């Protein structure tokens, strides 16, 4: 289900997408009790939109296709002054599979993209995780590859006036061109991330969204995806005990590149006393993460 029209604020589109995820469920493929596959584009049949995923176009024209890559195939997303996403409803029990793993490769970053300002809020790759309702709040974590914002920064995004239930945090997993053009496997301890950002234990995950956008910077972006999985074992995931107190990060007019084109509204985002650079989240000191890089 999509909200009609393409001119709503990014947060309004996100809120509509969150509601639709809560009301629907598309089964994901469980390899075993040790692993739940949300998306395996190496094994996906050639078709415009991968089976089980819903395409949402927020601005411009979508450009996505399965392409040969390194002896296999990958899902290629390309943005030319556009914003679009792929969403899949899931039901992930974090008590059984608390570790999120995905493979991505960015080959072109939006010029001057920076999620901390509405006019530059473009990212080549975003992975959005939607949790089940917690009280009267709907929690969302957005993992992103930003062009400029420093790696490790995390920020709470203000809720829009008409969707006060939305509680969204953006986390910059990667930044800049240092590893551009290389396949990277990211592994996150989602339970530790959630505990640190929201200050309590998570329940279940209800939705996953992959997004790209470049229209604010009037540029282009390109990213590839191989897989998105949840795992029972930490394997080589580096984790440390979370901080004793939940941390929150804020910055003025903070947006997060979500759903329509960004998360945030150009005419009503909240303000705080924190500097425009946001605050760095020490990913090694409370939020577990590990990465591997391959050509």
Local confidence pLDDT in tens for the 295 residues of the chain: 232 333 334 444 454 455 444 444 445 555 456 899 999 998 888 778 999 999 999 999 999 999 999 878 999 999 999 999 999 999 999 999 999 999 999 999 999 999 988 899 999 999 999 998 766 778 999 999 999 999 999 998 877 787 788 899 999 999 999 999 999 999 999 999 999 999 999 989 999 999 999 999 999 999 999 999 999 987 644 443 333 333 333 332 333 333 333 333 333 332 222 233 344 444 333 345 666 776 6
| Partner residues linked to 238 by β-bridges | none
Q: What is the pLDDT of residue 47?
A: 77
Backbone angles phi, psi at 195, to 5 degrees: -60, -40
Residue among 79, 66, 85 nearest 142 (CA): 85
Longest dimension (CA), the chain: 50
Residue 1: inside a domain: no
In whole angstroms, give the CA distance from residue 158 to residue 111: 25
- Long-range (24+ apart) CB contacts under 8 A made by 161-167 are 161/268, 162/12, 162/15, 163/11, 163/12, 163/14, 163/15, 165/15, 165/136, 165/137, 165/138, 166/11, 166/14, 166/15, 166/18, 166/137, 166/138, 166/140, 167/134, 167/137, 167/138, 167/139, 167/140, 167/198
Domain count, the chain: 1
Residue 215: inside a domain: yes
How is the chain split among helix, strand and coil, in percent rounded to 5? 10, 45, 50
Q: What is the pLDDT of residue 291?
A: 67
In whole angstroms, give the CA distance from residue 59 to residue 49: 17
In whole angstroms, give the CA distance from residue 22 to residue 87: 12
pTM score, two decimals? 0.76
Residue 135: inside a domain: yes
Sign of the alpha-carbon torsion through 158, 163, 164, 165: negative
**247 alpha-carbon distance from chain centroid:** 19
Backbone angles phi, psi at 281, to 5 degrees: -100, 120
Domain extent, residue 197, equals 10-294
Residue 202: inside a domain: yes
Residue 2: inside a domain: no
In whole angstroms, give the CA distance from residue 253 to residue 250: 9
Backbone angle region of 4, left / alpha / beta, with phi > 0 → left and psi within -120 to 50 → alpha = beta
CA 126-194-3 angle, to 5 degrees, is 50
Residue 33: inside a domain: yes
> Residue 124: which CATH number?
2.60.120
Cα torsion for 169, 194, 213, 295, to the nearest 10°?
140
DSSP of 226-271, one letter per residue? EEEEEESS-TT----PPPSS------TT-----BTTBSS-TTT---
Residue 85: inside a domain: yes
Residue 3: inside a domain: no
Give Cβ neighbours of residue 171 (< 8 Å, ≥ 6 apart): 141, 142, 143, 144, 153, 154, 193, 197, 281, 287
């Amino acid at each position: 289900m999509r909200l009609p029209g393409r001119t709503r604020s990014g947060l309004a589109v996100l809120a509509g997408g969150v509601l639709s995820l809560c009301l629907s469920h598309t089964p994901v493929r469980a390899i075993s009790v040790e692993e739940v596959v949300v998306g395996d584009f190496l094994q996906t049949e050639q078709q415009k939109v991968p089976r089980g995923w819903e395409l949402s176009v927020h601005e411009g024209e979508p450009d996505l296709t399965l392409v040969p890559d390194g002896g296999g195939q990958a899902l290629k997303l390309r943005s030319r002054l556009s914003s679009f996403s792929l969403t899949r409803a899931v039901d992930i029990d974090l008590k059984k599979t608390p570790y999120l793993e995905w493979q991505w490769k960015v080959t072109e970053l939006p010029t001057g993209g920076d999620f901390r300002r509405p006019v530059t809020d473009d990212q080549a790759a975003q992975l959005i995780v939607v949790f089940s309702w917690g009280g009267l709040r709907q929690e969302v974590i957005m993992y992103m590859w930003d062009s400029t914002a420093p790696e490790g920064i995390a920020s709470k995004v203000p809720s829009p006036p008409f969707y006060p239930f939305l509680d969204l945090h953006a986390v910059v997993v990667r930044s800049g061109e240092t590893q551009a053009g290389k396949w990277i496997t990211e592994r996150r301890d989602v339970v530790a991330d959630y505990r640190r950002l929201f200050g309590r234990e998570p329940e279940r995950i209800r939705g996953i969204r992959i997004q790209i956008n470049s229209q604010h910077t009037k540029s282009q972006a390109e990213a590839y995806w191989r897989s998105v999985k949840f795992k029972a074992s930490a394997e080589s995931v580096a984790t440390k005990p979370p901080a004793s107190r939940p941390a929150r990060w804020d910055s003025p007019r903070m947006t997060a590149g979500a759903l329509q084109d960004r998360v945030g509204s150009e005419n009503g985002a909240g303000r705080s006393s924190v500097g425009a650079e946001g605050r760095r989240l020490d990913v090694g000191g409370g939020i577990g993460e590990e990465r591997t890089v391959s050509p």
